[in-house]
Structure 1
Amino acid sequence: MTTRGSVAETVLDAVGHTPLVRLRHVLPENAARVLVKLEGTNPTGSYKDRMARAIIDGARRRGDLAAGRRVVEFTGGSTGSSLAFVCAVTGHPLSLVTSDAFSPEKLRTMRAFGADLTVLPSEGGQITPDLFVRMRAEVDRIVADEGAYWTDQFRNTDALTGYAELGREILAQARTVDVFAAAVGTAGMLAGVAAVLRAAGGARVVALEPATSAVLTGGAVDAHRVEGTATGIVPPLLTRDTYDDARAIDEGAARALARRLAREEGVFVGTSSALNVAGALELAREVGPGRTVVTVAADTGLKYLAGDLFG
């Protein structure tokens, strides 16, 4: 990996090195400082670039992914964009299974990088557990018919390698982390960062989820619109020793916060990132001054302009 100020030998070396910024205007009184890692500065505007690079690199290194072999995955958007980016650079054709429940900007980005898309219909644009079951079935068909390599993002431990680097960057920038909080999709990011933070001194790790799909906190499991999170299962990468506790965040409050972050902090993010910040603000109020709470802005608000988030 290159460092800032040096020339990247390939665009893959431009993944990472993202800024960590302190929130000032949306912070409640008598709260801990809240730092947000702006992953929207990665090449495709998402932290999933870290995962995609690590997964493809790992498979190629082990010989599981031969030169020119097709890759396949089902995705809610950012994983697809990131895999399409990495596969474009490394020369692998890519099939992605997705849905009209996810932002059109993400689907167009996948196609822009050359991926072949299968777009499944959703129930009124909602993200439901059944949607992921149907997408997985289509992946199985492509693997059987075309001999494609399935990256299996929900179980692929190579992802932890990519996200460990994110954890090391956070430590180097923040110096001290008392609480780390982030929403769970595949849980690779939470697990990868948590391992680094705990090895360095035992930060509290809090898993977040939308209250409308609250598998971790024992609430209702229903449809929601927080892309990239809450697939209706406890993902295999989220072992119980990965996190200390979990909490559910109101989706409506997160959507309102996304607009505040843009207008008051200049932090332009989507719903899942705003949910992360909402959880971090709650925790900052609870732990109080003199502590540091860190979360991640998973991607950029540019991926959500076609919807009603900023309308």
Structure 2
Amino acid sequence: MSGALQRPAVVSRVSDLIGCTPLLALATTETGSRLLLKLEMFNPTGTAKIRMARAMIDAAESAGDLRAGGRIIESTSGNTGLGLSVIAAERGYTFTAVVDHHAAADKLRAMKALGAELVYVDAGGDGSELHTAAREELAEDMARDEDNTVFTEQHNNPANGVGYFPVAHELAEALDGRLDVLVGAVGTGGGLCGTSRELAKLINGFTTIGVEPKGSTAFGGPAHDYYQSGTGTPEGAELGALVDFALIDEGVKVGDVEAFATCRAVARTGLLIGGSAGGVVYEALTRLSSLPPGTTMVALINDGGEKYMDTVFNDDWMTQRDLLSAETEREVEEHLTKLRGNR
């Protein structure tokens, strides 16, 4: 990546490495339409969410709500917590992550290694259920009336969306202003909606497609448990204020089986992507061939697959939960192989 968005050759802080993430051409049709992956796992902590973690802390400092020696509290399934752990360590804050066992174990271990305090809402839980509402409630209670303490409240914090504005500028510069379809996961809404909002100032006429797991409630439909972590709106959780339906042209749902099969098929091309990213890529691949000739589609890949070795890439874990489908993996792999042959 060139131009104003190129980072210095040498930096002095880990957070200075945020951004300027690469684009990978994953698939191309015979008519010249292409699917590009915005590889956000190349950020520190291997996830896009460190972008908004930094933005939320910047906003809290600017407002005078967080001062030297202060404490940050957040409810997190892992990736936001990883980002906040890094920013807290750099700036001398204490960070408390309110978590549950549904989060990938490696994310929890990494937060602890970075100095975060972990508070579980489901002590002794087996990780089969999300506890988003309970996490939010506890985090809010812990921060209430505490001086120099901030509950960053990622689902309703405007700075979350602002943190992703640079993604839009990176895409516009790298693609010389040519982007037709943007596809991304919808969790807090900050990533997809923040990128789309800023991108609309830079590029005209693109379509935004939001992807959530089957069982999530942002786009309606029945609620039930799902295993894609860090995304969606589970039953009992409030839809965050950052989910702006005016910025999402189409909302779709992808099941765990399809999302995880896609992760495993993409891995055999040499790239490891996370569970929710699998859902995004599945949807993008499904519709790529039906797009007008010469379409440029970008899928936002929020994190890599290295944190999911115990889950998505573990045959025993997948089998125990009836998520392993050799047939679906084969279908995705064959489709991907055909499309990659056009590059």
Q: Mark the CA change 1:99 to 1:194 in structure 2 (over 3 Å): closer, same or farther.
A: same
SS in 1 for 2:297: strand
Q: Mark the CA change 1:308 to 1:238 in structure 2 (over 3 Å): closer, same or farther.
A: closer
Contact 1:48 1:82 in 2 (8 A): yes
Between stretches 134-143 and 103-112, larger displacement belongs to 134-143
**AA matched with 2:221:** G
Contact 1:183 1:272 in 2 (8 A): yes
1:37 counterpart residue number: 38
CA distance in 1, matches of 2:99, 2:32: 40
**AA matched with 1:300:** G
1:168 counterpart residue number: 169
CA distance in 2, matches of 1:239, 1:85: 28
CA distance in 2, matches of 1:296, 1:282: 16
**AA matched with 1:136:** E
Matches within 5 A, 1:233-248: 233-248=238-253
**AA matched with 2:86:** F
For each residue in 1:96-125, what CA deviation from the matched residue of structure 2 results, as whole angstroms up to 9, or x when unmatched? 100111111000111011111012228742
Give the one of 258, 265, 272 matched to 1:268. Answer: 272
Q: Does residue 256 of the first structure (1) align with residue 258 of the second (2)?
A: no
For each residue in 1:180-222, what CA deviation from the matched residue of structure 2 results, as whole angstroms up to 9, or x when unmatched? 0111110101111101222221311111111232x23322111
Q: What TM-score do the two structures reach when normalised by structure 1?
A: 0.92
CA distance in 2, matches of 1:80, 1:39: 16
Contact 1:33 1:289 in 2 (8 A): no
Contact 1:70 1:95 in 2 (8 A): yes
RMSD value, Cα = 2.0
1:65 counterpart residue number: 66
2:287 counterpart residue number: 283
Offset of residue 126 of structure 1: 2.9
Matches within 5 A, 1:295-306: 295-306=299-310
For each residue in 1:243-282, what CA deviation from the matched residue of structure 2 results, as whole angstroms up to 9, or x when unmatched? 1111111220110110111112x22111111111112112
CA distance in 1, matches of 2:50, 2:219: 29
CA distance in 1, matches of 2:32, 2:225: 32
2:26 counterpart residue number: 23
1:13 counterpart residue number: 16
| Higher Rg of the two aligned structures | 2
**AA matched with 2:181:** V
Offset of residue 142 of structure 1: 1.3
1:138 counterpart residue number: 138
Q: Does residue 294 of the first structure (1) align with residue 295 of the second (2)?
A: no
CA distance in 1, matches of 2:136, 2:50: 21
Contact 1:31 1:284 in 2 (8 A): no
**AA matched with 2:208:** V
Matches within 5 A, 1:205-244: 205-213=208-216, 215-232=217-234, 233-244=238-249
SS in 1 for 2:20: coil
SS in 1 for 2:46: coil
Matches within 5 A, 1:188-207: 188-199=190-201, 200-207=203-210
Q: Mark the CA change 1:29 to 1:254 in structure 2 (over 3 Å): closer, same or farther.
A: farther
SS in 2 for 1:138: helix
Contact 2:96 2:118 in 1 (8 A): yes
Offset of residue 234 of structure 1: 2.9
**AA matched with 2:299:** T
Q: What TM-score do the two structures reach when normalised by structure 2?
A: 0.84
Offset of residue 167 of structure 1: 1.2
Report the number of matched residues. 305
Q: Mark the CA change 1:31 to 1:261 in structure 2 (over 3 Å): closer, same or farther.
A: farther
Offset of residue 285 of structure 1: 2.6
- Structure 1 unpaired stretches of 5+: none
Q: Mark the CA change 1:184 to 1:194 in structure 2 (over 3 Å): closer, same or farther.
A: same
2:321 counterpart residue number: none
CA distance in 2, matches of 1:145, 1:98: 21
Contact 1:2 1:14 in 2 (8 A): no
CA distance in 2, matches of 1:288, 1:261: 24
Contact 1:180 1:205 in 2 (8 A): yes
Between stretches 28-37 and 56-65, larger displacement belongs to 28-37
- Structure 2 unpaired stretches of 5+: 316-343
CA distance in 2, matches of 1:52, 1:67: 17
For each residue in 1:147-187, what CA deviation from the matched residue of structure 2 results, as whole angstroms up to 9, or x when unmatched? 42100101111122220001111121123111101111101
Contact 1:167 1:194 in 2 (8 A): yes
Offset of residue 286 of structure 1: 2.8
Offset of residue 62 of structure 1: 2.2
